[in-house]
Amino acid sequence: MSGIYTWARNHGHFDGANPIVGVKLPKARGASETYAYDLREELAIMNVLEPMAKAAIAVASFAGLARAEMRGLRWEDRKDGNLYVRRNVWGATVKETKNEYREAPVPIIPQLAEILDEYWETCGRPAEGWIWPSPVRDLSLDFIHIYRKHIRERLQKAKLPWYGWHAFRRGLATNPPTSGFPTL
């Protein structure tokens, strides 16, 4: 920050004392180990869930999307064997993806297609609309809500651990494709 004020002063954009000189930042938390689910854990979790929550976990596990990207998915974004990420939803804000690379089609593997099809059938086979619609407004459900209302209790009963949504995405990078895919 100090360098920004120095640059601004040197280029005539700021005329005054640098307010950052002498400022000390608080100590940050130390780096902590992050968890990545393995494929067997992901499948065990999916096996105890209802179709909606199972589909959310499957998209996180097999498509590698960020939570805001998953919330932004609509049924019309699924076509030609791909998911097309067109938007992010964070809080009550719908916005474009972070960059053009995030909009590249994400292939749907057969296992994900099967789970999405099952959920789509339970939704009445909609042609459009949010994949995880909110019952109270025209927006998708927050994934924290999906966890609290549709996942937490089932995982506790099954004695399965929860490490958060991002642990599924991390698991995608650690699940070797050559290990075979256990049946659901």
Give 99's pLDDT tier (boundaries 50, 70, 90).
Answer: confident
- pLDDT-above-90 percentage for the chain: 60
Residue 65 has pLDDT above 50, yes or no: yes
C-alpha span between 92 and 145 (Å, rounded): 13
Question: Model's pTM, two decimal places?
Answer: 0.77
Q: Six-digit token pair at 168? A: 């599924």
Which range, of 52-61, 73-82, 116-125, 174-183, averages the lowest pLDDT? 174-183
- Residue 178's pLDDT is 47
The domain limits of the chain are 39-173
- What contacts 29, CB < 8 A, 6 or more positions away? none
> Of all residues in the chain, what percent carry a pLDDT higher than 70?
90
* φ, ψ (nearest 5 deg) of residue 180: 85, 160
* Fold for the domain defined by 39-173: hpI Integrase; Chain A (1.10.443)
| 122 vs 26, higher pLDDT | 122
pLDDT of residue 107: 93
Q: How confident is the model at residue 136 (pLDDT cuts 50, 70, 90)?
A: confident
pLDDT of residue 29: 67
Distances (CA, A) of 156 to 15, 43, 45, 48, 167: 59, 16, 11, 10, 17
Question: Helical H runs in 48-151?
Answer: 51-62, 67-71, 110-122, 143-146
Kindly provide the b/e burial profile for residues 85-122, where b requires at least 16 CB atoms within 10 angstroms of the residue's own CB: bebbbeeeeeeebeeeeeeeebebeebbbebbeebbee
